[in-house]
Amino acid sequence: MTQATELVDGYRNGTISPVEATQAALDAIEQYDDQVNAFVLVDAEGALAAAKESEARWHSGEPLGPGDGVPTSIKDALWTKGWPTLRGSTLIDEAGPWDEDAPAVARLRETGAVILGKTTTPEYSWKGVTDSSRYGVTRNPWDPSTTPGGSSGGSATAVALGMGPWSVGTDGGGSVRIPAAFTGTVALKPTYGLIPLYPPSAFGTLSHGGPMTRSVRDAAALLDVITGYDARDWSAMPTPATSFLRGLDDGVAGLRIAFSSDLGIVDNDPEVEALVRTAVGVLADAGAEVSEVDPGFADPVDAFHVLWWSGAAKVLSAYEVDDRVDPGLRRVAAVGASYSATDFLDATTTRMELGQLMGRFHQTYDVLVTPTLPITAFPVGQDVPDGSASPEWTSWTPYTYPFNLTQQPALSLPCGFTQAGLPVGLQVVAARHADALTLRVGQAYQAATDWHLRTPTLKAR
C-alpha cells in the first residue's frame, strides 16, 4: 500500500495523481468496509471533487501544502464542518448545526488533504474497543472475529486496509495506540497540547489528538500538518518551529534506551514478550545503549479511574440517560458521579507525582520502551478478554493510560506477529516535548524491519 509521503512524491513528479489515489482509497472502502465497519460516513463524490482540485494545483505547481491530495479520514469524535459528529451515540441530535471544523480538520483542509469521511468510535470514546449501539461492531482486518481495539478502532482499521494512508484519532487512555497495536499500524499520542483540540473533551487534559498511519515517516508528516497554535484551545502549544521529518533518519546510536518489559506490574502473553524483546534487540544492534530497567511507579489505575469516570459522568450529565446508552458507560458514569472534589484532587496529586517521577527518569534515559499492550486482539463484542477478572478496559491496557496522565509522547509501531497471525505493538515513550525523539527511535526500528509493510489478507467482496 502506498504511503502518504510516497503519494506526495508521486504527485510532485507526475507518476500518480490525487484522483487515482483517492479512487484507490474509495475502492478499498467499497471492497472491505462491509466486513470491518470502519466508516460511519463516506463522501465519495466530495472526495473525488477535492482530488480533482488538488490534481489541478499539482499540475500548476501550486499545492496548498505538504498534504495536498492525500486521502484522509477523521475519527467521528472530531468536528467536521457540514458533517455530523455523533461520537457513536444515539444521544446526539444529527441535525446539528455542524458549522465548524476541529483544529486538526481545519489544518487538513488548509493543506489540501482529501477528506474521505468519518470513522467509527465507541460511544463518546469511553473504552478500549470499538462498538456502539449507533453503529455496531468494528472488526480487526487481520481477523474479523477479533476487535481492532479502540477507541480509534475505525481509523486504525481504515489505515490498515488502504482506505487512505492518513487518519486522525483521539487518545485519552490509549485510544490511538491500542488499535495501532492490534492492527499492525502506527500511531502517536503526542505531548498534550501539541495537537489543539476543540471543542474541549469532557475527559479534560487526559485527551489528546493523534496521527494514525502505516509508517513512522507518515506519522511525522501528518503531525506537521495537524499541529499548530489554535486560539480555541486554551492549552494549545505554539506552532512547532521545525518539521518533524527533520532528523527523523538520524538513528539511535548512542541513545540511552530504558527497556521495561512489564513496568514491574504487568504479566505479558509469552509471544508478546518474546517479540518485544526481539524488537529491543534490533534497537541495540542499531547502536542504542539499552538498559533493562523499570521506571519504578505503582499502577496509577485508581487515579486514572477517578479522572476518567468523572469525565464519563460529565458526558452523560447533559442527557436523559436510558438503555440506549452503552451499559458500561452508564456504569462507570454512575461511579464517576459519586466522587468528591477531594477524590479528584487526590487523583490529580497522584498524576503530578507520576509526571515528576517520569521527568527525573528521562534525565537518565532518552526513551522508555515497553510493549504497547500485554495481549493481542480478543473476540469482538466484548470490553475485556475472555476470563478477565475485571470488567474494566484498563485491566488490559496497563502500558498506555499512565502516559496520558503524564502527557508524554508515546508511539506505537508494529514489531511482529504471533503464530495466530495477530500483530504485536512496541511502545516508545519520551519526555514531554520530545515527540521528535519518539519518532526518530521508531523510524530507526522501521528502517531495520519490515513489519509495517505487512498488509492484511482480508478478501475483497
Among candidate residues 129, 135, 133, the one with its CA nearest the CA of residue 156: 129
CB atoms within 10 A of CB 433: 16
Q: Which of 54, 175, 215, 310 is catalytic?
A: 175
DSSP 106-151: HHHHHHT-EEEEEE--SGGG-SSS-EETTTEE--BTTBTTB---SS
Query: Which residues contact residue 106 at a Cβ distance below 8 angstroms, ignoring those fewer than 6 apart?
Result: 230
- Cα–Cα distance for residue pair 144/382, rounded to 1 Å: 14
Is 52 catalytic? The answer is no
How many residues would you count in the chain?
461
Asked, as a colleague might, if the bond just before 151 is cis with ω within 30 of 0, I would say yes
Q: Which of 132, 151, 201, 310 is catalytic?
A: 151
- Cα–Cα distance for residue pair 309/117, rounded to 1 Å: 30
Q: Which of 17, 73, 75, 167 is catalytic?
A: 75
Among candidate residues 416, 403, 405, the one with its CA nearest the CA of residue 367: 403
In which residue are the cell numbers 533493562 written? 292
Is 75 catalytic? The answer is yes
DSSP 160-213: HTTS-SEEEEEESSSTTHHHHHHHT-EEEE-STTSS--SSPPTTGGG-EEEEEE
For the annotated catalytic residues, the residue numbers are 75, 151, 175
